[in-house]
């Protein structure tokens, strides 16, 4: 019962603080002004992700106080989340060079992985492989990539919020199915409640944007939650990768195509599949809701089969990603010509 009050309070704090931040952004002229690379057409306040960060991090010590969260996990999420959020906040208010942002991101990843106990063994086709020290390096790259791709994918109203809520609810359900005696399912639900309060303001048409402070924070917390789940049961890593499939596939296909063309992949652009889809439709809401539906009605059932060991993790990942790859190419992820035609 006490956890339910935690959820309600977290959502309420997030909702109220987002409203305050919107007024603050308007007063300080912290406005996202549309340009040729934007997916929105109306100047909109930014930085609302501070509400998600504050509501979620404030709840962690309370969960720890009531013995619902272990000290190492609390330290992992607090330290890594704060570092990334502060860097994103400063970048939202000015500019931080990409190399310094990446340095902080890798430092935050290393901190989180240290307190979580490192990267768990990888399970595939009935075998378990302990990657040793290579696992730490691989895990750090994985965490930083997920952090940054979440930033890349936060480009239309409500999308990052819907993704976080559906993935967190799916991840919590899978942890509960595999380890019903564990309290690890509470963290994804808590994060979803913090995002829900913000989403009230960000759902299309958005009245405030998340900003780098929010998207980067969600990216690293989701990555660390996936590692934590995999330490409970190695197969849960595949489950989280499946649940995050829409963002992973779109961002990865787009990045690969841009790199192969020799473009500066770190520069702003609007060539993701979801951006192309929103331009074709002429609205953000249908695309955001469609991605939420894909998560719930396609990715979550496949993840469930993997969690219940009805399907091998790698096989499940391929089954889940194949339609997403087809959609990425259908909606021209990373296609420079499509982007150029849209700009004409």
Binding-site residues for Mg(2+) sit at: 151, 212
The SS3 call for residue 170 is helix
Q: Are 160 and 218 in contact (CB under 8 A)?
A: yes
Q: How much of the chain is helix, strand and coil, in % rounded to 5?
A: 70, 5, 25
C-alpha to C-alpha distance for 78 and 61, rounded to whole angstroms:
9
Q: Which long-range contacts (CB under 8 A, 24 or more apart) does 175-181 make?
A: 175/229, 175/232, 175/236, 177/304, 177/307, 177/308, 178/232, 178/233, 178/235, 178/236, 178/307, 179/232, 179/233
Question: Whole-angstrom Cα distance, residue 100 to residue 96?
Answer: 7
How far CA 21 is from CA of 59, 192, 334, in Å, comes to 19, 20, 33
């Amino acid at each position: 019962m006490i956890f339910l009050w935690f959820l309600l309070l977290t959502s309420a704090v997030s909702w109220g603080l987002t409203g305050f931040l919107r007024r603050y952004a308007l007063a300080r002229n912290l406005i996202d002004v549309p340009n040729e690379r934007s997916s929105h057409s109306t100047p909109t306040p930014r930085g609302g992700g501070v509400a998600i960060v504050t509501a979620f991090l404030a709840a962690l010590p309370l969960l720890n106080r009531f013995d619902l969260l272990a000290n190492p996990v609390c330290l992992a999420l607090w330290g890594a989340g704060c570092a990334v959020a502060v860097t994103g906040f400063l970048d939202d208010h000015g500019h931080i060079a990409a190399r310094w942002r990446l340095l902080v991101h890798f430092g935050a990843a290393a901190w989180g992985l240290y307190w979580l106990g490192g990267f768990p063994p990888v399970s595939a086709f009935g075998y378990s492989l302990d990657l040793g020290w290579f696992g730490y390096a691989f895990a750090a790259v994985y965490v930083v990539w997920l952090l940054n791709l979440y930033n890349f994918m936060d480009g239309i109203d409500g999308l990052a919020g819907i993704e976080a809520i559906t993935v967190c609810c799916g991840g919590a359900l899978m942890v509960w199915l595999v380890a019903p005696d564990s309290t690890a399912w509470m963290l994804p639900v808590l994060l979803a409640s913090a995002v829900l309060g913000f989403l009230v303001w960000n759902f299309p048409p958005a009245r405030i944007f998340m900003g780098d402070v929010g998207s980067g924070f969600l990216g690293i917390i989701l990555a660390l939650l996936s590692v934590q789940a995999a330490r409970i049961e190695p197969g849960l890593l595949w489950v989280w990768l499946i649940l995050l499939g829409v963002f992973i596939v779109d961002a990865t296909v787009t990045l690969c195509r841009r790199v192969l063309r020799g473009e500066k992949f770190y520069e702003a652009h609007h060539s993701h599949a979801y951006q192309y889809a929103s331009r074709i439709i002429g609205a953000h809401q249908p695309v955001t809701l469609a991605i939420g539906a894909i998560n719930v009605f396609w990715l979550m059932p496949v993840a469930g089969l993997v969690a219940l060991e009805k399907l091998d993790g790698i096989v499940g990942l391929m089954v889940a990603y194949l339609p997403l790859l087809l959609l990425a190419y259908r909606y021209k992820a990373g296609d420079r010509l499509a982007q150029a035609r849209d700009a004409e």
